[in-house]
Chains A and B, each alone.
Chain A
């Protein structure tokens, strides 16, 4: 277990109702700087909503989200500012189809952060190099495979120099042979000490990368433990059953 450092994200009593149905039902969660936390749980348990509440893509009704000690949203830290420090990668990549790879990556840093284009380009190239795609900078998204698109989406988020990265089932719509190339990139990030909150169904990846596993069910966190411990002996019956669905024997 890593040494406990500064708390980067604190969530208290988060509640969200959607169409009269509670999606998040009082979530408490703290993430420390440099930590890799993996959120797992059955579909519809509120994992994606939780991530979207952290960068304000969804609004919550009750509770607070603090980032670096500041409350996010109304009256607190502005979303446009918070989003520069919180990167997010989506299941469906969602690159901008009308822009080249390089333009996709440079849009945020240049337009939002107003950084000089030359400097951003240099950093972007470095990041593209790191994910093995520096030769694709002039391509359009439609010319890339799913795995390549997803790696670009990660670079697009990284180029903003975020302090926290959110990953929302980023391998869920990829062909099996492309899952690995994306997970490798994420594993690399984890080893470099990037703070990450990851929603995934890749149990082997969670085992390898996670410091902590967070199990969600019906809008609440029902179990939270060190990764190795969680996979060896989950405490709750629900988590046990959930893990069993991944094995055929």
Chain B
């Protein structure tokens, strides 16, 4: 079966648009997840009382439910309470709700990997708790958390593939539409896979690179 190049060229701009949309949603989602995750992990690390319990509940909720179900509830359920959210906002909120829990766990285990001896060492030169976090704990926690952060980023980008369910014109909805209209299944699916590879491989390699760099720079106590 010959590849229909004309078809591909004709719809390439559509694929470009859909990919860009995915990048935009994922970027916002990841950024906000990291912010939410760092805050949650610090709340847990410093054992803030009431907030800690809420954060723990949130993390369990976000990690033990699928994004798809979270999105359905956000997009079709919540508006019934009179709160209207656009599909783009929904996508970003959903991604942040999901990602925040995963990011929080990644940062938390990083924070906890910093040894007691390091804390004592920092205390013994008179650092206060903010200075401790800023200069001693966080930099070390971050380098430990990098592999998990990378995995989370890739996970979140992949999760954007369900966004078509809330009327977002992403790669999946484009694919479905084109197959339905033109039956150029081979071409459509091929471009779909290529687009996702273009999206994810660079991120994957970037984190591999960072990890390797960090391994050189760290530890060896």
Contact = CB atoms under 8 A, between A and B. Distances in A.
Contact of A55 (B117, B124, B128, B140): B124
Given A112-B131, A142-B221, A97 B125 contact: no
Interface size grouping (class) on chain B: 20 to 34
Contact of B125 (A92, A93, A142, A157): A157
A57 B127 CA distance: 12
Contacts of B218: 97-98, 142
Interface string B180-221: 000000000000000000000000000000000000011111
Interface size grouping (class) on chain A: 20 to 34
B112 to A, nearest CB: 16
A93 B221 contact: yes
A122 B218 CA distance: 27
A159 to B, nearest CB: 9
B117 A92 contact: yes
A46 interface: no
A151 B125 CA distance: 16
Contacts of B135: 96, 107, 111
Contact of A83 (B125, B139, B140, B221): B125
A81 B123 CA distance: 11
B124 A57 contact: yes
Interface string B118-146: 10111111111001000110011001000
A83 B126 contact: yes
B117 A90 contact: yes
A55 B121 CA distance: 11
B221 A141 contact: yes
Given A112-B131, A142-B221, A96 B123 contact: no
B128 A80 contact: yes
A84 interface: yes
A43 B143 CA distance: 35
Given A52-B120, A96-B135, A157-B125, 15 more contacts: A84-B125, A87-B124, A87-B125, A92-B221, A94-B115, A95-B121, A95-B221, A96-B136, A97-B140, A107-B127, A108-B126, A111-B131, A142-B220, A142-B221, A157-B124
30 contacts: A52-B120, A57-B123, A57-B124, A79-B126, A83-B123, A83-B126, A84-B125, A88-B124, A92-B221, A94-B115, A95-B221, A96-B118, A96-B135, A96-B136, A96-B140, A97-B140, A97-B221, A98-B140, A108-B125, A108-B126, A112-B126, A112-B127, A140-B217, A140-B220, A141-B220, A141-B221, A142-B220, A156-B125, A157-B124, A157-B125
